[in-house]
Amino acid sequence: MATKQKSHKLTSPATLRASNCAQVDAQPGWYRWWMRKDKYDQLIAGPLAITGMPETISIDGDTYVAVYFGISKDLKQRMRWHICQKHTASQIKVGTISTFRRTLSALLRIPLSQSEQAVNDHLDNYMQVEWFYATNGKSPEQIETKELQDNLYPLNIDKNPNVDTSLLKAKRKEINC
């Protein structure tokens, strides 16, 4: 792992949603999403022809794979966006649905207008998230550049030198995500 800073315990999106992300402070920092390996193999590794293996961890006897890395000037707001966002017609039309939620919709092969509950269910049942506050003098942008350079995050579309994102972009286009 490139970042050696203490994180918060990995947390279920359902737990964060239930509290409207009360556990997360409105501070700058970065976050990492983990997906249970069986779902990673089903939705990401095979369909996106991922070579190499992202970082893995064990949680309660299950193996999880690091799939997405992000930064924010306000972690609470970003967690709410990824975890609690509604897929309203107006948000879909103007394109303000979280990139992470768009990508999950595409991988689940469900149009955005129909995928809110499916994305929430996937997050709640197969994913964990952790976050870090920017307290070590490095900006979140510096951390992101190094993290994406040093590690494999298959769902990061922008600034990702370790993944050919063309298949992921094509899947998003197929489902209009």
Handedness of CA 32, 41, 157, 127 (dihedral sign): negative
Query: Residues near 79 by Cβ (< 8 Å), separated by ≥ 6?
Result: 16, 21, 24, 31, 129, 131
pLDDT tens string 73-125: 999 999 999 999 999 999 999 989 999 999 999 999 999 999 999 999 999 99
In 3D, which of 166, 161, 141, 138 has the Cα closest to residue 151?
161
Entry pTM: 0.91
Is the pLDDT at 1 greater than 80? The verdict is no
pLDDT tens string 143-160: 999 999 999 999 999 888
